[in-house]
Amino acid sequence: MKFGIILETKEYEKAWNAFRFATTAKKQNHKVKVFLMGEAVECEGLTHEKYNVDEQLKTFISIGGEILACGTCLKSRHKDGTETCPISTMIDCVQMVEWADRTITF
């Protein structure tokens, strides 16, 4: 199955759970893409003593997961895309939703 995940928060526990879900699905041989929107574009490097979002994000990438980051959301925060979270557009988000068998939002 193909899962498209739209993450809109940098709230530690919710973002951590989103990447845990993405990683678990990927490990079960599903295809998974994550689109970061709004404050979620700040998830790379986000750490917490109990909910280490960055660690989960890196685990997801290390097993072949794909992350897209809203360019408008990045720009409004004066941030650039990275190799891990490249700048993407709403067209990319729409294409991910079209690609996915299921779309999940966190």
- At residue 60, the pLDDT reads 98
Distances in whole angstroms, Cα of residue 21 to Cα of each of 8, 33, 80, 91: 15, 11, 26, 24
CATH number of the domain that 95 lies in? 3.40.1260.10
Q: Which of 70, 60, 61, 48 is nearest to 21 (CA)?
A: 60
- At residue 2, the pLDDT reads 98
Instruction: Quote the domain boundaries for residue 86.
Output: 2-105
- Judge contact between 15 and 48, C-beta under 8 A: no
Q: Which of 99, 51, 94 is nearest to 70 (CA)?
A: 94
Distances in whole angstroms, Cα of residue 31 to Cα of each of 13, 60, 65: 23, 12, 8
Per-residue pLDDT in tens (0 to 9) along the chain, 106 residues: 999 999 999 999 999 999 999 999 999 999 999 999 999 999 999 999 999 999 999 999 999 999 999 999 999 999 999 999 899 999 999 999 999 999 999 9
Total domains in the fold of the chain: 1
Tens-digit pLDDT profile for residues 47-64: 999 999 999 999 999 999
